Amino acid sequence: MGDRIVLKQGRLVAAAGERVVDVAIEGGTIVDIGAGLTGDRMLDATGCVISPGFVDLHTHLREPGREEAETIETGSRAAALGGFTAVVAMPNTEPAQDSVAVVEYVRTQGERAGLCDVVPAGCITIGRAGEQLAPFAELAGAGVRIFTDDGNGVQDPLLMRRAMEYAKDLGITLAQHCEVSALTKGAVMHEGSCCSRLGLPGWPSIAEELMVFRDIELCRLTGAPIHLLHLSTVRSVDLVRAAKADGLPVTAEACPHHFTLTDELLGTFDAVYKVNPPLRTPADIAALKVGLADGTIDAIATDHAPHPPETKEQPLDQAPPGMLGLQTALSLALGELGLDLPAVIRLLSTNPARIARLDDRHGGPVEVGRPANLVVFDPSATWTVVPAQLASKSRNTPYAGRTMTGVVRHTILRGAPVVVDGVAQR
Ligand SMILES: [Zn+2]
Protein backbone atom coordinates (compact mmCIF):
# COMPACT_ATOMS: atom_id res chain seq x y z
CA MET A 1 0.00 0.00 0.00
CA GLY A 2 1.28 3.41 -0.96
CA ASP A 3 1.22 6.47 1.19
CA ARG A 4 -0.96 8.77 -0.90
CA ILE A 5 -3.49 10.47 1.35
CA VAL A 6 -6.43 12.46 0.05
CA LEU A 7 -8.36 15.01 2.11
CA LYS A 8 -11.83 14.86 0.56
CA GLN A 9 -14.11 17.82 -0.09
CA GLY A 10 -12.55 20.44 2.19
CA ARG A 11 -12.81 24.21 1.97
CA LEU A 12 -9.81 26.28 0.93
CA VAL A 13 -10.49 29.80 2.14
CA ALA A 14 -8.86 33.00 0.93
CA ALA A 15 -9.70 36.69 1.02
CA ALA A 16 -10.81 36.37 -2.62
CA GLY A 17 -13.32 33.62 -1.81
CA GLU A 18 -13.40 29.92 -1.20
CA ARG A 19 -13.60 26.65 -3.10
CA VAL A 20 -14.28 23.03 -2.19
CA VAL A 21 -11.48 20.67 -3.23
CA ASP A 22 -9.68 17.41 -2.62
CA VAL A 23 -6.04 17.72 -1.52
CA ALA A 24 -3.64 14.85 -2.27
CA ILE A 25 -0.50 14.36 -0.22
CA GLU A 26 2.43 12.08 -0.97
CA GLY A 27 5.97 11.92 0.35
CA GLY A 28 5.30 14.73 2.80
CA THR A 29 4.25 17.15 0.06
CA ILE A 30 0.98 18.43 -1.39
CA VAL A 31 0.97 16.81 -4.85
CA ASP A 32 -2.47 17.61 -6.25
CA ILE A 33 -5.46 19.84 -5.58
CA GLY A 34 -8.65 19.21 -7.53
CA ALA A 35 -11.83 17.20 -7.76
CA GLY A 36 -12.42 13.44 -7.60
CA LEU A 37 -8.89 12.62 -6.42
CA THR A 38 -8.17 9.14 -5.09
CA GLY A 39 -5.49 7.75 -2.83
CA ASP A 40 -4.47 4.92 -0.56
CA ARG A 41 -6.17 6.60 2.36
CA MET A 42 -9.07 9.03 2.23
CA LEU A 43 -9.88 11.46 5.06
CA ASP A 44 -13.24 13.16 4.97
CA ALA A 45 -13.08 16.96 5.15
CA THR A 46 -16.69 17.75 4.28
CA GLY A 47 -17.75 21.07 5.79
CA CYS A 48 -14.23 21.58 7.14
CA VAL A 49 -11.53 24.10 6.36
CA ILE A 50 -8.20 22.79 5.08
CA SER A 51 -5.64 25.20 6.53
CA PRO A 52 -1.90 25.32 6.93
CA GLY A 53 -1.13 23.84 10.36
CA PHE A 54 -1.05 26.30 13.24
CA VAL A 55 2.23 27.53 14.69
CA ASP A 56 2.41 28.44 18.38
CA LEU A 57 5.10 30.98 19.19
CA HIS A 58 4.74 30.40 22.91
CA THR A 59 4.47 26.90 24.40
CA HIS A 60 5.82 25.72 27.74
CA LEU A 61 6.50 21.99 27.43
CA ARG A 62 8.16 21.76 30.87
CA GLU A 63 10.67 19.08 29.84
CA PRO A 64 13.43 18.85 30.94
CA GLY A 65 12.90 19.48 34.63
CA ARG A 66 9.17 19.70 35.33
CA GLU A 67 7.86 16.46 33.84
CA GLU A 68 5.17 16.23 36.54
CA ALA A 69 3.47 19.18 34.79
CA GLU A 70 3.98 18.24 31.12
CA THR A 71 6.34 16.28 28.91
CA ILE A 72 7.34 17.01 25.36
CA GLU A 73 5.19 14.05 24.35
CA THR A 74 2.02 15.08 26.22
CA GLY A 75 2.43 18.72 25.19
CA SER A 76 2.99 17.70 21.57
CA ARG A 77 -0.18 15.63 21.67
CA ALA A 78 -2.15 18.61 23.01
CA ALA A 79 -0.63 20.71 20.21
CA ALA A 80 -1.56 18.25 17.46
CA LEU A 81 -5.11 17.95 18.82
CA GLY A 82 -5.30 21.74 18.84
CA GLY A 83 -4.30 21.85 15.16
CA PHE A 84 -0.69 22.94 15.66
CA THR A 85 2.01 21.45 13.45
CA ALA A 86 4.81 23.44 15.08
CA VAL A 87 5.34 24.88 18.55
CA VAL A 88 8.14 27.09 19.79
CA ALA A 89 9.27 25.51 23.06
CA MET A 90 9.97 28.20 25.64
CA PRO A 91 13.39 27.93 27.30
CA ASN A 92 12.43 28.21 30.99
CA THR A 93 13.14 24.53 31.47
CA GLU A 94 15.46 23.09 34.12
CA PRO A 95 18.18 23.27 32.96
CA ALA A 96 17.30 26.27 30.79
CA GLN A 97 17.67 26.07 27.00
CA ASP A 98 20.87 28.10 26.98
CA SER A 99 23.17 25.43 25.53
CA VAL A 100 23.28 23.33 22.39
CA ALA A 101 22.99 20.16 24.48
CA VAL A 102 19.65 21.15 26.04
CA VAL A 103 18.27 22.52 22.78
CA GLU A 104 19.19 19.29 20.98
CA TYR A 105 17.58 17.25 23.75
CA VAL A 106 14.29 19.14 23.37
CA ARG A 107 14.32 18.83 19.60
CA THR A 108 15.12 15.11 19.76
CA GLN A 109 12.34 14.44 22.26
CA GLY A 110 10.00 16.28 19.92
CA GLU A 111 11.05 14.11 17.00
CA ARG A 112 10.60 11.01 19.13
CA ALA A 113 7.05 12.04 20.05
CA GLY A 114 6.42 12.72 16.34
CA LEU A 115 3.22 14.73 16.85
CA CYS A 116 4.34 18.22 15.86
CA ASP A 117 7.56 20.06 15.09
CA VAL A 118 9.06 21.06 18.44
CA VAL A 119 11.16 24.15 17.80
CA PRO A 120 13.29 25.08 20.80
CA ALA A 121 13.81 28.76 21.59
CA GLY A 122 17.16 29.69 23.07
CA CYS A 123 17.71 31.87 26.13
CA ILE A 124 18.85 35.47 25.77
CA THR A 125 20.91 35.19 28.96
CA ILE A 126 22.58 32.26 30.65
CA GLY A 127 20.17 30.53 33.01
CA ARG A 128 17.67 33.33 32.17
CA ALA A 129 19.42 35.18 34.99
CA GLY A 130 19.69 38.45 33.07
CA GLU A 131 23.43 38.85 33.59
CA GLN A 132 25.42 37.31 30.76
CA LEU A 133 24.43 36.68 27.15
CA ALA A 134 23.81 33.08 26.11
CA PRO A 135 26.06 31.69 23.33
CA PHE A 136 23.91 33.02 20.45
CA ALA A 137 26.31 31.99 17.68
CA GLU A 138 26.58 28.39 18.84
CA LEU A 139 22.82 28.15 19.34
CA ALA A 140 22.13 29.76 15.98
CA GLY A 141 24.56 27.23 14.49
CA ALA A 142 22.36 24.51 15.99
CA GLY A 143 19.35 25.98 14.18
CA VAL A 144 17.86 28.19 16.90
CA ARG A 145 16.18 31.25 15.39
CA ILE A 146 14.20 32.74 18.28
CA PHE A 147 15.64 33.72 21.65
CA THR A 148 13.87 34.76 24.84
CA ASP A 149 14.17 34.69 28.62
CA ASP A 150 10.38 34.28 28.81
CA GLY A 151 9.11 34.23 32.35
CA ASN A 152 11.63 37.01 32.91
CA GLY A 153 12.09 40.20 30.95
CA VAL A 154 15.67 41.27 30.30
CA GLN A 155 15.88 44.09 32.83
CA ASP A 156 19.27 45.60 31.97
CA PRO A 157 18.96 47.96 28.98
CA LEU A 158 22.65 47.75 28.12
CA LEU A 159 22.53 43.96 28.01
CA MET A 160 19.40 44.11 25.86
CA ARG A 161 21.06 46.58 23.51
CA ARG A 162 24.08 44.27 23.14
CA ALA A 163 21.79 41.27 22.60
CA MET A 164 19.95 43.10 19.82
CA GLU A 165 23.16 44.18 18.09
CA TYR A 166 24.42 40.61 18.22
CA ALA A 167 21.06 39.23 17.07
CA LYS A 168 20.99 41.51 14.06
CA ASP A 169 24.38 40.24 12.88
CA LEU A 170 23.32 36.61 13.31
CA GLY A 171 19.90 36.88 11.64
CA ILE A 172 17.98 35.71 14.71
CA THR A 173 14.98 37.25 16.48
CA LEU A 174 14.72 38.18 20.14
CA ALA A 175 11.36 37.78 21.87
CA GLN A 176 10.71 39.78 25.02
CA HIS A 177 8.59 39.02 28.06
CA CYS A 178 7.76 42.65 28.81
CA GLU A 179 7.80 43.14 32.57
CA VAL A 180 9.82 45.63 34.61
CA SER A 181 10.16 43.38 37.62
CA ALA A 182 10.83 46.19 40.12
CA LEU A 183 7.19 47.18 39.59
CA THR A 184 5.66 43.71 40.02
CA LYS A 185 7.24 42.27 43.17
CA GLY A 186 4.75 39.90 44.83
CA ALA A 187 2.00 40.80 42.34
CA VAL A 188 -0.81 38.31 41.85
CA MET A 189 -3.23 40.20 39.59
CA HIS A 190 -3.79 43.31 37.48
CA GLU A 191 -3.45 46.56 39.45
CA GLY A 192 -6.80 48.29 39.23
CA SER A 193 -10.09 48.78 41.02
CA CYS A 194 -10.79 45.07 41.31
CA CYS A 195 -7.37 44.51 42.83
CA SER A 196 -7.83 47.27 45.44
CA ARG A 197 -11.24 45.88 46.37
CA LEU A 198 -9.77 42.41 46.90
CA GLY A 199 -6.75 43.81 48.74
CA LEU A 200 -4.28 41.87 46.62
CA PRO A 201 -0.86 43.05 45.39
CA GLY A 202 -1.13 44.46 41.86
CA TRP A 203 0.79 44.07 38.57
CA PRO A 204 0.44 47.50 36.94
CA SER A 205 0.04 47.90 33.19
CA ILE A 206 2.96 50.29 33.12
CA ALA A 207 5.34 47.48 34.12
CA GLU A 208 4.64 45.98 30.70
CA GLU A 209 4.39 49.22 28.75
CA LEU A 210 7.75 50.60 29.92
CA MET A 211 9.55 47.57 28.52
CA VAL A 212 7.49 47.58 25.32
CA PHE A 213 8.53 51.22 24.87
CA ARG A 214 12.19 50.55 25.72
CA ASP A 215 12.48 47.62 23.33
CA ILE A 216 10.78 49.51 20.50
CA GLU A 217 13.35 52.27 20.98
CA LEU A 218 16.21 49.73 21.08
CA CYS A 219 14.81 48.29 17.87
CA ARG A 220 14.85 51.78 16.35
CA LEU A 221 18.47 52.22 17.50
CA THR A 222 19.85 48.85 16.45
CA GLY A 223 17.62 47.82 13.55
CA ALA A 224 17.30 44.33 15.08
CA PRO A 225 13.86 42.69 14.94
CA ILE A 226 12.02 42.32 18.23
CA HIS A 227 9.01 40.13 18.96
CA LEU A 228 6.89 41.22 21.92
CA LEU A 229 5.31 38.32 23.79
CA HIS A 230 1.77 38.20 25.22
CA LEU A 231 0.75 41.86 24.99
CA SER A 232 -2.01 42.63 27.45
CA THR A 233 -2.70 46.37 27.69
CA VAL A 234 -4.24 49.23 25.71
CA ARG A 235 -1.03 51.27 25.71
CA SER A 236 1.13 48.32 24.63
CA VAL A 237 -1.05 47.92 21.55
CA ASP A 238 -0.85 51.67 20.83
CA LEU A 239 2.96 51.64 21.15
CA VAL A 240 3.29 48.73 18.73
CA ARG A 241 0.90 50.35 16.28
CA ALA A 242 3.03 53.51 16.27
CA ALA A 243 6.25 51.50 15.90
CA LYS A 244 4.85 49.72 12.87
CA ALA A 245 3.74 53.00 11.37
CA ASP A 246 7.39 54.07 11.69
CA GLY A 247 8.39 50.95 9.73
CA LEU A 248 10.26 49.26 12.60
CA PRO A 249 10.73 45.46 12.53
CA VAL A 250 8.51 44.95 15.59
CA THR A 251 6.10 42.02 15.83
CA ALA A 252 3.70 41.11 18.62
CA GLU A 253 1.44 38.37 19.86
CA ALA A 254 -1.63 38.16 22.08
CA CYS A 255 -2.95 35.16 24.03
CA PRO A 256 -6.55 33.91 23.97
CA HIS A 257 -6.95 34.32 27.74
CA HIS A 258 -5.99 37.99 27.46
CA PHE A 259 -8.70 38.68 24.88
CA THR A 260 -11.40 36.61 26.62
CA LEU A 261 -11.07 36.85 30.43
CA THR A 262 -10.92 39.80 32.86
CA ASP A 263 -9.36 40.53 36.24
CA GLU A 264 -12.80 40.25 37.88
CA LEU A 265 -12.29 36.47 37.83
CA LEU A 266 -9.61 36.77 40.50
CA GLY A 267 -12.48 37.58 42.86
CA THR A 268 -12.98 33.80 43.02
CA PHE A 269 -9.47 33.56 44.56
CA ASP A 270 -8.98 30.57 42.26
CA ALA A 271 -5.37 30.44 41.04
CA VAL A 272 -6.49 28.90 37.74
CA TYR A 273 -6.99 32.57 36.75
CA LYS A 274 -3.48 33.62 37.80
CA VAL A 275 -1.31 34.25 34.77
CA ASN A 276 1.65 36.45 33.87
CA PRO A 277 1.03 39.08 32.55
CA PRO A 278 -2.28 39.07 34.43
CA LEU A 279 -5.85 39.10 33.12
CA ARG A 280 -6.77 42.72 32.63
CA THR A 281 -9.86 44.88 32.00
CA PRO A 282 -12.62 45.00 29.37
CA ALA A 283 -10.88 48.07 27.84
CA ASP A 284 -7.67 46.06 27.42
CA ILE A 285 -9.59 43.19 25.83
CA ALA A 286 -11.19 45.62 23.39
CA ALA A 287 -7.78 47.06 22.45
CA LEU A 288 -6.29 43.60 21.86
CA LYS A 289 -9.21 42.71 19.59
CA VAL A 290 -8.74 45.88 17.55
CA GLY A 291 -5.00 45.19 17.38
CA LEU A 292 -5.59 41.63 16.16
CA ALA A 293 -8.07 42.87 13.56
CA ASP A 294 -5.97 45.72 12.17
CA GLY A 295 -2.66 43.83 11.98
CA THR A 296 -0.95 45.62 14.88
CA ILE A 297 -0.78 42.27 16.66
CA ASP A 298 0.62 39.70 14.24
CA ALA A 299 -0.12 36.42 15.96
CA ILE A 300 -2.23 34.55 18.46
CA ALA A 301 0.06 32.59 20.80
CA THR A 302 -1.12 30.29 23.54
CA ASP A 303 1.39 30.73 26.40
CA HIS A 304 0.36 27.12 27.19
CA ALA A 305 1.68 26.81 30.75
CA PRO A 306 0.81 23.54 32.47
CA HIS A 307 0.95 23.20 36.25
CA PRO A 308 -0.08 20.18 38.32
CA PRO A 309 -3.09 20.52 40.67
CA GLU A 310 -1.02 20.50 43.85
CA THR A 311 0.60 23.77 42.82
CA LYS A 312 -2.48 25.48 41.33
CA GLU A 313 -4.60 24.62 44.38
CA GLN A 314 -2.37 26.76 46.59
CA PRO A 315 -3.37 30.27 47.69
CA LEU A 316 -3.07 32.98 45.03
CA ASP A 317 0.19 34.39 46.36
CA GLN A 318 1.90 30.99 46.28
CA ALA A 319 0.45 29.39 43.15
CA PRO A 320 2.53 29.72 39.96
CA PRO A 321 1.10 31.74 37.06
CA GLY A 322 -0.03 30.02 33.86
CA MET A 323 -2.88 28.30 32.02
CA LEU A 324 -3.29 25.57 29.43
CA GLY A 325 -3.92 26.90 25.94
CA LEU A 326 -3.12 24.58 23.05
CA GLN A 327 -6.50 22.84 22.71
CA THR A 328 -8.69 25.92 23.17
CA ALA A 329 -6.86 28.50 21.02
CA LEU A 330 -8.62 27.78 17.73
CA SER A 331 -12.11 27.87 19.26
CA LEU A 332 -11.43 31.13 21.09
CA ALA A 333 -9.96 32.71 17.96
CA LEU A 334 -13.00 31.66 15.94
CA GLY A 335 -15.58 32.50 18.59
CA GLU A 336 -14.36 35.68 20.27
CA LEU A 337 -12.73 37.91 17.68
CA GLY A 338 -15.40 38.35 15.02
CA LEU A 339 -12.79 37.83 12.28
CA ASP A 340 -13.22 35.92 9.02
CA LEU A 341 -11.51 32.58 8.42
CA PRO A 342 -8.57 33.92 6.37
CA ALA A 343 -7.76 36.37 9.18
CA VAL A 344 -7.87 33.65 11.83
CA ILE A 345 -5.56 31.46 9.71
CA ARG A 346 -3.17 34.38 9.28
CA LEU A 347 -3.02 34.90 13.06
CA LEU A 348 -2.64 31.23 13.97
CA SER A 349 -0.46 30.03 11.11
CA THR A 350 0.94 32.33 8.42
CA ASN A 351 2.25 35.13 10.61
CA PRO A 352 3.65 33.07 13.50
CA ALA A 353 5.40 30.78 10.99
CA ARG A 354 7.09 33.83 9.49
CA ILE A 355 8.08 35.27 12.89
CA ALA A 356 9.60 31.93 13.98
CA ARG A 357 11.36 31.71 10.57
CA LEU A 358 9.57 28.45 9.82
CA ASP A 359 7.78 29.68 6.70
CA ASP A 360 9.66 27.32 4.40
CA ARG A 361 7.79 24.44 6.09
CA HIS A 362 4.81 25.91 7.94
CA GLY A 363 2.19 28.58 7.51
CA GLY A 364 1.09 27.73 3.98
CA PRO A 365 -0.10 28.52 1.41
CA VAL A 366 -1.99 25.29 0.69
CA GLU A 367 -0.55 24.75 -2.79
CA VAL A 368 0.93 21.93 -4.86
CA GLY A 369 4.61 21.52 -4.02
CA ARG A 370 4.30 22.87 -0.46
CA PRO A 371 5.14 20.71 2.60
CA ALA A 372 2.04 18.95 3.91
CA ASN A 373 1.77 20.45 7.40
CA LEU A 374 -1.98 20.93 7.56
CA VAL A 375 -4.98 21.09 9.83
CA VAL A 376 -8.54 20.22 8.87
CA PHE A 377 -11.06 21.86 11.20
CA ASP A 378 -14.82 22.25 11.37
CA PRO A 379 -15.47 25.93 12.13
CA SER A 380 -19.08 25.37 13.19
CA ALA A 381 -18.97 22.16 15.24
CA THR A 382 -19.11 22.59 19.01
CA TRP A 383 -17.42 20.86 21.94
CA THR A 384 -17.31 21.25 25.71
CA VAL A 385 -14.04 21.67 27.60
CA VAL A 386 -13.62 18.79 30.05
CA PRO A 387 -10.23 19.17 31.75
CA ALA A 388 -9.78 15.42 32.29
CA GLN A 389 -10.21 14.84 28.54
CA LEU A 390 -7.46 17.25 27.51
CA ALA A 391 -4.19 15.68 26.36
CA SER A 392 -2.01 17.80 28.59
CA LYS A 393 -0.63 16.18 31.73
CA SER A 394 -2.05 19.12 33.70
CA ARG A 395 -5.63 20.32 34.07
CA ASN A 396 -5.29 24.07 34.65
CA THR A 397 -7.67 25.42 32.05
CA PRO A 398 -9.80 28.45 32.94
CA TYR A 399 -12.45 27.28 30.45
CA ALA A 400 -13.63 24.08 32.18
CA GLY A 401 -17.26 23.35 31.33
CA ARG A 402 -17.41 25.99 28.62
CA THR A 403 -18.94 25.03 25.25
CA MET A 404 -16.91 26.32 22.33
CA THR A 405 -17.22 26.42 18.56
CA GLY A 406 -14.53 25.03 16.25
CA VAL A 407 -13.26 21.44 16.26
CA VAL A 408 -10.02 20.01 14.86
CA ARG A 409 -10.76 16.92 12.77
CA HIS A 410 -7.40 16.00 11.27
CA THR A 411 -3.82 17.19 11.66
CA ILE A 412 -1.20 16.27 9.07
CA LEU A 413 2.48 16.52 9.99
CA ARG A 414 5.00 16.17 7.17
CA GLY A 415 2.42 14.23 5.19
CA ALA A 416 1.45 11.86 8.01
CA PRO A 417 -1.93 12.00 9.78
CA VAL A 418 -1.13 12.55 13.47
CA VAL A 419 -4.74 13.35 14.38
CA VAL A 420 -7.64 11.62 12.59
CA ASP A 421 -11.28 12.37 13.44
CA GLY A 422 -10.14 14.20 16.56
CA VAL A 423 -8.06 11.28 17.85
CA ALA A 424 -4.29 11.41 18.22
CA GLN A 425 -2.68 8.57 16.26
CA ARG A 426 0.24 8.10 18.64
ZN1 LIG B 1 6.02 35.36 29.43
CA distance 25 to 32: 7
**Residue type at 190?**
H
User: Angle at which helices 205-222 and 234-245 pack, to 10 degrees?
Assistant: 10
pLDDT of 1 strictly over 60: no
- Rounded distance from Cα 130 to ligand 1 centre (Å): 14
Contact of 351 with 384, CB cutoff 8 Å: no
Sequence-separated (6 or more) residues with CB below 8 Å from residue 128: 91, 92, 96, 98, 149, 151, 152
The CB density around residue 231, as the number of other CB atoms within 10 Å, is 29
CA distance 190 to 209: 13
Mean pLDDT of 17-41: 97
Q: Is 49 left (phi over 0), alpha (psi -120 to 50) or beta?
A: beta
Give the tens place of pLDDT for each residue, 254-308: 999 999 999 999 999 999 999 999 999 999 999 999 999 999 999 999 999 999 9
How are beta strands 17-26 and 29-34 bridged, if at all?
antiparallel
Contact of 290 with 237, CB cutoff 8 Å: yes
- Rounded distance from Cα 404 to ligand 1 centre (Å): 26
Tell me which residues are annotated as active site.
303
Mean pLDDT of 38-57: 98
Give percent of the chain above pLDDT 70.
100
User: What is the 3 state secondary structure string of the chain?
Assistant: CCCCEEEEEEEEEECCEEEEEEEEEECCEEEEEECCCCCCEEEECCCCEEEECEEEEEECCCCCCCCCCCCHHHHHHHHHHCCEEEEEECCCCCCCCCCHHHHHHHHHHHHHHCCCEEEECECCEHHHCCCCECCHHHHHHCCCCEECCCCCCCCCHHHHHHHHHHHHHHCCEEEECCCCHHHCCCCCEECCHHHHHHCCCEECHHHHHHHHHHHHHHHHHHCCCEEECCCCCHHHHHHHHHHHHCCCCEEEEECHHHHCCEHHHHHHCCHHHCCCCCCECHHHHHHHHHHHHHCCCCEECCCECCCCHHHHCCCCCCCCCCECCCCCHHHHHHHHCCCCHHHHHHHHHHHHHHHCCCCCCCCCCCCCCCECCEEEEEEEEEEECCHHHCCCCCCCCCCCCCEEEEEEEEEEECCEEEEECCEECC
Mean pLDDT of 173-193: 97
Contact of 280 with 297, CB cutoff 8 Å: no
Contact of 326 with 364, CB cutoff 8 Å: no
pLDDT of 124 strictly over 90: yes
CA distance 92 to 128: 7
- Rounded distance from Cα 16 to ligand 1 centre (Å): 36
Mean pLDDT of 187-216: 96
Mean pLDDT of 389-393: 98
Contact of 373 with 362, CB cutoff 8 Å: yes
- Rounded distance from Cα 169 to ligand 1 centre (Å): 25
CA distance 335 to 200: 32
Give the tens place of pLDDT for each residue, 353-383: 999 999 999 999 999 999 999 999 999 999 9
User: Which pLDDT value is given to residue 298?
Assistant: 98
User: Which pLDDT value is given to residue 15?
Assistant: 85
Mean pLDDT of 39-53: 98
- Rounded distance from Cα 311 to ligand 1 centre (Å): 19
CA distance 148 to 192: 29
- Rounded distance from Cα 194 to ligand 1 centre (Å): 23
Q: Mean pLDDT across the chain, nearest whole number? A: 97
pLDDT of 106 strictly over 90: yes
Contact of 136 with 170, CB cutoff 8 Å: yes
Exposure b/e, 168-206, CB count within 10 A at least 16 = b: bebebbbbbbbbbeebbeebbbbbbebbeebebebbbbe
pTM over 0.85: yes
